[in-house]
Structure 1
Amino acid sequence: MAGEHHYGGTGRSAMTTYEVVLHPTSVVEELKKNNISHVVWLPDSETNFMYQLLTSEPSIDLVPVCREGETMAIAAGLWVGGARPIVLIQNTGIFESGDSIRGLGLDINQPLVMLVGYRGWTRRGITNDSAAVFIEHILHTWGINYYLIETDEDADRISVAIAEADRTQKPVAVLVGTEFGV
């Protein structure tokens, strides 16, 4: 992604190209800072860098699932047992998990943070992927607050989401609007 810098008041502008990336280490540091014990996730190609880092992190257990709907029930069981899980799935997984989110997250007041890959998201141009078009509407409909992260500088929003979930005893989503960099 390129950044643009405008010189104040001179009417001149210059394009400065710099890398804007979200590294898995930034995300994992936020999880560790908040004593997250488990990442319940459906493995996919977009989270491969995160997987590689998490497998070497002794303080966080990875719990893979076969279907996204299972993530909510497993996270609820871990939470009831005293653990501090998060869920890592794609936005299409939110659609498949709808009844579990309603019944477990919302109805039992589970303070769950869902890291959600924002498949199809584009900051520029037209978003044609229905997964990206629908996700924010669905979260609004369910009354689930969310935060968007796209860069390492945004990663602290994960801590904000965790604090909000703890305070409200409700699910909170963090939409990951980019692929992880190396």
Structure 2
Amino acid sequence: MARVTGVRAQPGGPVALDFTADGYRVHRRDGVINWLLDDLGCFTSLVVAGVFGVGAVYAYEYDLVPLAIVLAALAVPGAFVVTVRLAAEVAAEVLGYLMIGLTVLASPLLVFPSVRRWARKWWSGSTRPTSTPRRRTPASAVTDAELRRDGATVTVLLEVDGERVRYQATGIAGERLEGEVRTLLADRLRTVH
């Protein structure tokens, strides 16, 4: 199994592709924004904001105003990340309490049969998954494959189950993507110049 990283899918964003002898698997790669709002990223941002913020205060106290401005400017992005995460956490907590309160207030309505039928219908429809995620795409499911090379950028257009997905990579990742796709779909791959 060969893994190709540094690939951008459209739709889908950054992904990693695992190729096997008879198919491929797509793994979604989280971007920088998701990492920053993660626990470790938020803690790191808090530390950065705290260190630069304290440095800015000390620099200002010793009349080093230009240095204080630079340190405060470096503290702002970290403080912004922490503020966004804090706002998201508070909003989720408030929404949770509102849902609990709404459930408690609306539960006496379940005495009425029409409300019970509506709730049962709504509940059964909302818990069923709308589509099952594809774990692995076999090579036989690819109905159309096209490869384009523009300098160091490699673009692969695949059609699977009537949906077209574009995978794009540059440099070494592009070369690896081209090699793996050529190996997997050698007989059906069209090369467009």
TM tier relative to shorter chain:
under 0.3
Normalized against structure 2, the TM-score is what? 0.21
Write 1 or 2 for the structure with the bigger share of strand: 2
Which entry has the higher C-alpha Rg, 1 or 2? 2
Normalized against structure 1, the TM-score is what? 0.22
